[in-house]
Amino acid sequence: MMGSRGMTLTGILKDGVHRLDIRVYYEDTDHSGRVYHANYLKFCERGRSETLKCAGIFHTDLAAQDLFFVVRHMDCNFLGAATIDDVVSVETRLHQQGPAKFVLDQRVLRGEEVLFAARVTLAMVNAQGRPQRIPAGLLQKISES
């Protein structure tokens, strides 16, 4: 499904950077009319999920193999505030990868202004929550995206 700017619902992956546009709704804001801080984490989760989809990695396929990505660590910087009706862009790029984890850099921007930045470590676990190696095919898809 295409948006008004030609962007699909899953965003655009180009030159190693995934970009997903998100409109800020009333439900995303706090009493001051600014985006509630925890919602930046939700925006980034959407960005990570859509980045994986653009790379051909689907959570449902992983779950069928009892494999899951979980957030292991996150460093966040809140640098500005989006408000209702703003359109923000979530940018996601690979920073580093290992056999059982990878690290992403994410930013939420309004235009060129960076509102939020995070470095996120994702680990692969099995259904029991134990660390697992990321299958070689997935590592390749991640590194090529």
Point out the catalytic residue in the list 21, 28, 30, 105. Answer: 30
Contact 94, 52 (CB under 8 A): no
Of 8, 19, 24, whose CA–CA distance to 107 is shortest?
19
Structural domain contains residue 63: yes
Q: How many domains does the chain have?
A: 1
Confirm whether 75 is a catalytic residue. Answer: no
Structural domain contains residue 55: yes
Distance, CA of 110 to CA of 133 (rounded, Å) = 36
Structural domain contains residue 5: no
Which domain covers residue 83, as residue numbers? Answer: 12-144
Structural domain contains residue 80: yes
AA letter at 26: Y
Distance, CA of 30 to CA of 42 (rounded, Å) = 15
Structural domain contains residue 49: yes
* Range in 5-9, 40-44, 106-110, 125-129 the model is least confident about: 5-9
Convert the pLDDT of each residue in 49-75 to its tens digit: 999 999 899 999 999 999 999 999 999
Structural domain contains residue 6: no
**Kindly report the CA angle at 118 between 113 and 121, in degrees rounded to 5?**
155
Structural domain contains residue 2: no
**What DSSP string describes 24-87?**
--GGGB-TTSBBPHHHHHHHHHHHHHHHHHHTT--HHHHHHTTEEEEEEEEEEEE----BTT-E
Convert the pLDDT of each residue in 72-129 to its tens digit: 999 999 999 999 999 999 999 999 999 999 999 999 999 999 999 999 999 999 999 9
Structural domain contains residue 1: no
CATH number for the domain that contains residue 50: 3.10.129.10
Model pTM above 0.85: yes
